[in-house]
Amino acid sequence: MATDVPAVKLIGWYGSPYVHRAEVALRLKGVPYEFIRDDPINKSELLLQHNPIHKKVPVLLHGDRTICESLVILEYVDETFDGPPLLPVDPYERAMARFWAHFIDQKFARPFWMSFWMCEDDEHKEAFVKEAKGNLAILEEQLKGRRFFGGDAVGFLDVAACGLAHWLGVIEEVSGVTLVNGDEFPAFCKWAKAYVNDDTVKQSLPDRDELLAFFSGNKEIYMALARATLHK
């Protein structure tokens, strides 16, 4: 083992599934790291210096290298460190994993978020719920016959979809909106349970009760944001 192994540090905010993506990737690869907890309301000089463009977390510091954007970090961790591969080996399977991760972050994210936080009586809410459920059905199809998106073990796409496994239930409880049920989405529900119970994943999942309190506390903010971004 080299004596001069560059230190790995991860800057993150409490409760962020994007930060969890980076943490779980490091743990799956067995990479020791220091977690630097930042505050989104009071962003540190360290964060602003290392991510001046987006000013967001996660930010991975590896020696003198800085890597931003959670999916970029996942691929960097996969390519840099030894340990089980996060992305499949076959180029076509890799393309599929990247496609679905992209789907989750782009097409899937907005209607999903808006379904929860739009007011009950807002005329747009129903349309968002319909779209969110349509997207969930698409993911359900992808999971048929598989324990994880990656196959037998947690992989890149499972990590990318982590918000749906752990945060989803919390957000449903806080918002009072239920999108997922075992009848409509059985494979999805099984996957979510398998993901949050994985031994490595567990270590970097925020405690559910704490997360619940955190989201409850921010409910008004999320609802205001949803109203404000309706026509964007």
Partner 1 sequence: MAGSNDLKLLGMWASPFVLRVKLALSLKGLSYEYVEEDLRTKSELLLKSNPVHKKVPVLIHNGKPVCESSVILQYIDEAFAGTGPSLLPVDPYERAMARFWAAYIDDKMMAAWNQASKAKTEEEKAEAMKQSFATVETLEGALRDCGKGKPFFGGEDVGYVDVVLGGLLGWIRANDELQGVKPFDPERTPLLAAWAERFWSLEAVEPQMPDVSKLVEFGKMLQARQAAAGEGN
Binding site for partner 1 (CB under 8 A): 53, 62, 65, 67-69, 71-73, 75-76, 79-80, 91-92, 94-95, 98-99, 102-103, 107, 138
**In angstroms, what is the minimal distance from the CB of 103 to partner 1?**
6
What are the counts of helices (DSSP H) followed by strands (DSSP E) for the chain?
13, 4
Cβ proximity to partner 1, 94 vs 227, nearer residue: 94
Which residues are registered as beta bridge partners of 68? 59
**In angstroms, what is the minimal distance from the CB of 93 to partner 1?**
10
Contacts 24+ apart (CB under 8 A), 203-208: 203/27, 204/20, 204/23, 204/24, 204/27, 205/20, 205/166, 206/14, 206/15, 206/20, 206/166, 208/166, 208/169, 208/170
Cβ proximity to partner 1, 94 vs 219, nearer residue: 94
Cβ proximity to partner 1, 80 vs 200, nearer residue: 80
Strands 34-37 and 59-62: unpaired
Cβ proximity to partner 1, 60 vs 211, nearer residue: 60
Which residues are registered as beta bridge partners of 195? none
Assign residue 141 a region (left: φ > 0; alpha: ψ between -120 and 50; beta: otherwise): alpha
Cβ proximity to partner 1, 33 vs 76, nearer residue: 76
**In angstroms, what is the minimal distance from the CB of 14 to partner 1?**
24
**In angstroms, what is the minimal distance from the CB of 132 to partner 1?**
14
Cβ proximity to partner 1, 66 vs 200, nearer residue: 66
5, 98, 23: which is closest to 60 by C-alpha? 23
**In angstroms, what is the minimal distance from the CB of 178 to partner 1?**
24
What's the distance, Cα to Cα, between the start and end of the chain in Å? 51
**In angstroms, what is the minimal distance from the CB of 118 to partner 1?**
18
Strands 65-68 and 59-62: antiparallel
Amino acid at site 134: G
